[in-house]
């Protein structure tokens, strides 16, 4: 079976690196692709522009999405939920924002889960491990 690709949508290169390290530290060697904002995420998902080569940029099996970044993160969730071939694609919002209205907006748009980014690397790894175990190993794949 081909490895399940993870798409990280986050404008913080540091957080993207932390997510990649957390996957490795958790024992997951899944390919992690990263884009910077919602417009780039939609290009990736549609296989457009720089992401037209599906061998190099395969459609993901999991999206980890920051809520506060360039563009509207909710547009990414809504696009996924409107696609008949991707309605079951897990979208996990992973953000530094503690604003409760953001969480409500994300779930209303169709997010599967919402997590606040932890402050320590150990906690960061623990959250990423739970996300990976549930969404990549838990049989909840489309």
Pick among 3.40.50.150, 3.40.50.2300, 3.40.50.300, 2.40.10.10: CATH of 6-67+76-95+108-137: 3.40.50.2300
Q: Which two tokens stand for residue 93?
A: 């919002």
The label of the residue with tokens 């190099």 reads 56
| Residue 51, φ and ψ in degrees, nearest 5 | -110, 20
Longest dimension (CA), the chain: 39
pTM: 0.92
Distance CA 47, CA 41 (A): 10
Query: In a structure prediction context, what are the per-residue pLDDT tens digits for the chain, which is 142 residues long?
Result: 458 999 999 999 999 999 999 999 999 999 999 999 999 999 999 999 999 999 999 999 999 999 887 788 999 999 999 999 888 899 999 998 888 999 999 999 999 999 999 999 999 999 999 999 999 886 544 4
What is the DSSP secondary-structure string of 89-133? --EEEEES---HHHHHHHHHHT-SEEEEPPSSHHHHHHHHHHHHH
In which region does residue 139 sit, left (phi positive, over 0), alpha (psi from -120 to 50) or beta (all else)? Answer: left
Convert 97-132 to b/e letters by CB count within 10 Å (16 or more is b). beeeebbebbeebbbbbbeebbeeeeebbebbbebb
């Amino acid at each position: 079976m081909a490895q399940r690709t993870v798409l990280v949508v986050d404008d913080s290169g540091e957080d993207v690196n932390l997510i990649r390290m957390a996957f490795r530290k958790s024992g997951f060697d899944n390919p992690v692709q990263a884009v910077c904002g919602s417009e780039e995420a939609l290009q990736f998902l549609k296989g457009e522009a720089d992401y037209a080569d599906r061998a190099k940029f395969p459609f993901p099996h999991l999206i980890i999405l920051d809520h506060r970044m360039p563009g509207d993160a909710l547009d990414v969730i809504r696009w996924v939920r409107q696609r008949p071939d991707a309605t079951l694609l897990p979208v996990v919002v992973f953000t530094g924002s503690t604003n409760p209205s953001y969480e409500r907006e994300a779930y209303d748009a169709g997010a599967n889960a919402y997590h606040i980014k932890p402050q320590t690397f150990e906690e960061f790894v623990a959250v990423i491990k739970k996300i990976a175990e549930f969404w990549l190993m838990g049989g909840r794949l489309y």
